[in-house]
Amino acid sequence: MLEAQGMKTGIDIDKLLAIRETIAGWLPGEPFTGAIARAGLPKTFARGEPVAA
């Protein structure tokens, strides 16, 4: 949400989702929450232009 508003968070969502998948493989049977991993980012999500603070 912050990225869509143009705020740089320093978080690479694609890499975060990739490592989540790796960790889930290391912990079979452990429940993981969060809809983004299952559904992906919203189709309307767009990284905004950086804004000056």
The pLDDT value given to residue 40: 74
Could you state, in chain order, the average pLDDT of each consecutive group of 10 residues for the chain (53 residues)? 73 85 90 78 68 58
pLDDT value at residue 26: 95
| DSSP-derived secondary structure for 21-38 | HHHHHHSTT-----HHHH
**Domain boundary assignment for the chain:** 1-53
Looking up tokens 């559904």, which residue turns up? 39
